[in-house]
A and B are shown apart, each in its own frame.
Chain A
Amino acid sequence: MIINHPLLGPRDSAEFVYLGAAALMDRPDPETASAEDWHDYAYLRDNPAGPHRELWFHEGGDRSILIVTRDTTTHEITGVELAREVASK
């Protein structure tokens, strides 16, 4: 696969490490979250056949973590964002 890095352009996926679903960024608020919220965050993942937002760590590159929207049935990539920019919005 080729991932179009927002800063570095198209890069081979071999330079990246897969970190899991982008849902990992939605860590519950420790002030308000219930035990169920923490359980769901730690253990439950969607497994869609279709577009999936997921984290790719550019370990062999600039060490950015990217949010890649990839269709799990075709590997088509329809979006790549810097995780840090999305997280700070």
Chain B
Amino acid sequence: MTQKNRLNGGQIDRDTTLNFTFDGKQYAGHPGDTLASALLANNVRLMGRSFKYHRPRGPLSAGSEEPNAIVELRSGARQEPNTRATTAELFDGLSATSQNRWPSLAFDAMAINDRLSNFLTAGFYYKTFMWPAAFWEKIYEPIIRKAAGLGSLSMRADPDTYDKGFRHCDLLIIGAGPAGLNAALTAGRAGAQVILADEDFRMGGRLNAETYPIADMSGADWAAQTVAELATLSNVRLMPRTTVIGAFDHGIYGAVERVSDHLATPAAGKPRQILWRIYAKQTLLCAGATERPIAFDNNDRPGIMLAASMRAYANRWAATPSHRVAIFTNNDDGHRTAHDLQGKGVKIAAVIDTRQDAPRSYDYEVLQGAQVVDTKGRLGLTFVEVNQVDGSTRTVECGALGVSGGWNPNVHLTCHQRGRPTWDENLAAFVPGGTLPSGMNVAGAANGDFSTHGALKSGANAARKALGLKGRAPAVPEAEDAPGTQTPFWYVEGCSRAWLDQQNDVTVKDVKLSHQEGFRSVEHLKRYTTLGMATDQGKTSNIGGLAIMAELAGKSIPEVGTTIFRPPYTPTAIGVLAGRMRGKEFHPTRLTPSHVWAKERGAVFVEVGNWLRAQWFPLPGETHWRQSVDREVTATRASVGVCDCTTLGKIDVQGSDAATFLNTVYCNGFAKLAVGKTRYGLMLREDGIAMDDGTAARLAEDQFVVTTTTANAGRVYQHMEFVRQCLMPEADVQLISTTEAWAQYAVAGPNSRRLLQKIVDPDHDISNEGFPFMACANITVCGGLRARLFRISFSGELAFEIAVPSRYGDALMRRLMAEGEEFDVTPYGTEALGVMRIEKGHAAGNELNGTTTALNLGMGRMVSKAKDSIGSQLSERPGLNEADALMQVGLRPLSAEDKVTAGGHLMKASGPVDAAHDQGYVTSAAYSPTLGHMIGLGFLKDGGNRMGETLRLVSPVTDLTVEVEVVSAHFVDPEGERVRA
């Protein structure tokens, strides 16, 4: 395969050939190439189609600012859309595909949009798809969505991994051009901890793209030599292929390192990319500058590119878009391109300079005071039309045109903390200004020092300043020091279909139209025309739009101002922001101590918070979950069942003021709770709404063990720390979460005591007399293992909760199962637990739903008036204590086969069904195997006084109406005899 447009020289390894494909066609390139440079070397200029008009496009730039050469990389699950060919590092076997075209890149049916461009101007969608309104959702939007967008997703899971990491340094240097390299050298030699990050795979910045020498060697060699020295310094960390995407608070920077994007597949065990969080004491932004184009009619044809990018392709990559090129410039920098390309044997058709005093050349023709007014060439540039200084027109034949409108400092990161850049009249460009992110300094072209000498010098000086280095500054190596003055020239007079934003197809005409239609703010201009809203974020286009807007409004550019720069600096994969936190690893999975045992038993698990809990334990032959759950409930009520309740939050409260403390956090009293006793406690929020409930067991005068619901464990602990530290700072009380330290099992049912007696060491009396309902104690089990025993019941049966250190949890469960064989012990899961608590009328998360009070829950009298506690004051306010306040009740269907569903609302037996006549709602429902029909818990207005009333339970969503009777919520054992047995 011949590389027709490959020049001599360059920083590519010609000894190695890399084969790659573009749109299925084979090409060859070399290590050091980007996809764009390799395609140009193969005489491919057409690389994409534009977003709206589907105009043929080639690369405008040679870097990350690229708006046009946007392609899909790779295939299969690794397919990545909207990737810039100008930064994609070439590797052997790379496959790239053009996008946003059908059926092919050269012939794109959607290019009809270009012919319709008179209708497709700014605001087209807003104006056109107004009527009829109903058409928008069904017809217009689907069509527009189909037509819009660039690349396509593979729709398959990303096979690669992404990591996150943390780094710290004294000085973070962003950009490894002349300023960054010299800064790193200065700081590194002084012994500072330095990180030097650059988005390119080869450090050196513009030095790799220029022919100017530094001292007695080429700029590229100086860069390579400097990088080599930095690599030997242990205090300097070089991070190539790393884009600093954002400047965040307090010297924290986000950076994406592309670890494996230059490889066919990541090496074993390596991530594709890493998101670094860099903590920098000081930061030096050496991000360089971006060349700005000039707008003229049809300035978007493949082959028209920024002049300095054309020079970079020639010098660094030994590639040219054509062997006959012209230059259109308003400054001396454009002449450099002509000079360098001429030196590489490329024919310079003409240098068209807008200045009448443009420098002349012996080597090629310079058209002074001339302007490009139009271009030709359907799929690639063939001719440019030039208006000469004398008013005559001339056609120049060329396959490529380098355009230079001057340079814009890359101020983006200086603005990430809402700083605004300031306008430099001398440079006719925005430079860093206002308040920079704390600890940030700027050097080199990013600060407006455009010459190589200026960059080297300002880099070294800024590093010395940032680190507070004293003594004589080291000499700056000799380099070109051309003045940086720029005269603005934004667009050719009279142009209309002249592209500003090539990626979003915004032309000079669109900006004028937006002004004509009254959009005066730059932020409105941006949103109305979509200027600068594409993936390149207007790096090459925003300034041109501002300039035209300013001119139309009769203002200066700084008066118009810029839009706000926000992170990320370049497009960032969502995958790297997520890192390892995806799929099952989105949050931690917490396993209970009996998990392995439960898995062996074939348990079905449910996620509760981060926990996996056994939901039920199906037996062979059971085909429906209800069969298993009904059996578990019945067996527990008949004999004994065991349930893992480790996930309940456990907080150890210790100190001489522990009782006083609990008196404050619980609405009911704890001061008089005897040692060895447990009490139910209800916690309120300060606004009087119930927050959580649980038990507190007094194991010693100065020690309580508090339990919380599984879901609220973290929040309750946090609340208790707030009360302890902020409201009761003098109290002698300490808190520690022990949720994971203890494995805890509920042993419930009439045979629970007999089962436990086989395990609890004989010197502990757990008879009804020796260990009555609500007793608690530190005991030993299984011959000396320390344990805690609580006689508490959620199921309504005679029940205990037994806790052992977590590492014995698995063994204890197995022991309970073995010893319980004679009682047909049955493990039960969260479903059976839920059924039994509904049968018993115990409130749970469905009832403690953030809107209910102690009164609603039927616990109004629990709120002690004898003491102050959190929420006690506001729970007394009239609005929460109206005569018809909601009260928790039980609900029974009149006809036993009827369904009761949670979420349904309660209406009177007759009358309208609407919100105005709402009587309450159902919070929990279950089939009760004990009663043989469904039951529900709900909140009913004045529910305490409406026992026996018939209501309608309605659910318009599921089209359900069921007649229910209001009954006590205590369906099973209302007298509470079983728990005391």
Query: Could you tell me which A residues sit within 8 Å of B by CB distance?
Result: 1-2, 12, 17, 19, 24-25, 27-28, 30, 33, 35, 38-39, 41-43, 55, 57, 59, 63-65, 74-77, 83-85, 87-88
Contact = CB atoms under 8 A, between A and B. Distances in A.
Interface in B721-739: 721-722, 725-727, 729-730
A38 B726 contact: no
Interface in B691-728: 714, 718, 721-722, 725-727
B649 to A, nearest CB: 14
B266 interface: no
B203 interface: no
B722 A2 contact: no
A2 B253 CA distance: 12
Given A2-B279, A27-B686, A38-B874, 4 more contacts: A27-B727, A30-B873, A38-B873, A65-B726
Nearest to B723: A27
B726 A83 contact: yes
Interface stretch (B208-216, B244-252, B922-930): B244-252
Contact of A41 (B686, B714, B868): B686
A2 B874 contact: no
B721 A35 contact: no
A3 B46 CA distance: 52
B725 A1 contact: no
Given A19-B718, A38-B873, A55 B252 contact: no
| Interface bin, chain B | 20 to 34
Contacts of B417: 74
Contacts of A12: 252
A79 to B, nearest CB: 15
Contact of A2 (B251, B718, B727, B729): B251
Given A17-B718, A42-B686, A57-B718, A87 B727 contact: yes
A65 B725 CA distance: 7
B252 A2 contact: yes
Contacts of B718: 17, 19, 57, 59
B687 interface: yes
A83 to B, nearest CB: 5
Given A57-B718, A75-B249, A75-B250, A42 B726 contact: no
Contacts of A63: 721
Contacts of B727: 25, 27, 87
A57 B722 contact: yes
Interface of B: 249-252, 279, 417, 435, 438, 686-687, 714, 718, 721-722, 725-727, 729-730, 868, 872-874, 877
B726 A84 contact: yes
Given A17-B718, A42-B686, A87 B873 contact: no
A33 B877 CA distance: 14
Nearest to B869: A30
Interface centre among B252, B438, B726 (most CB of A within 10 A): B726
Given A42-B686, A57-B718, A35 B729 contact: no
24 contacts: A1-B249, A1-B250, A24-B722, A27-B686, A30-B868, A33-B873, A38-B873, A39-B874, A42-B686, A57-B721, A57-B722, A64-B725, A65-B722, A75-B250, A77-B250, A84-B725, A84-B726, A85-B729, A87-B725, A87-B726, A87-B727, A87-B729, A88-B729, A88-B730
Interface centre among B250, B725, B729, B868 (most CB of A within 10 A): B725
Nearest to A76: B438
Contacts of B435: 74
B279 A25 contact: no
Nearest to A31: B868
Main secondary structure of the interface of B (DSSP, over half): mixed
A19 B725 CA distance: 13
Main secondary structure of the interface of A (DSSP, over half): mixed
B877 A35 contact: yes
A13 to B, nearest CB: 8
A24 B722 CA distance: 9
A2 B439 CA distance: 14
Given A42-B686, A42-B687, A83 B725 contact: yes
A25 B686 CA distance: 12
A76 B251 CA distance: 11
Interface centre among A19, A28, A33 (most CB of B within 10 A): A19
Nearest to B870: A27
A3 B874 CA distance: 34
A38 B878 CA distance: 13
Contacts of A35: 877
A68 B872 CA distance: 29
A28 B251 CA distance: 40
B866 to A, nearest CB: 12
B816 to A, nearest CB: 35
Contacts of A39: 874
A35 B881 CA distance: 15
B678 to A, nearest CB: 26
Contact of A24 (B251, B726, B730, B873): B726
Contacts of A19: 718, 722
Contacts of A17: 718
A19 B724 CA distance: 14
Nearest to A63: B721
Contact of B250 (A2, A25, A38, A55): A2
A64 B251 CA distance: 24
A34 B774 CA distance: 38
A22 to B, nearest CB: 8
Contacts of A65: 721-722, 725-726
B49 to A, nearest CB: 43
A55 B687 contact: no
Contacts of B725: 64-65, 83-84, 87
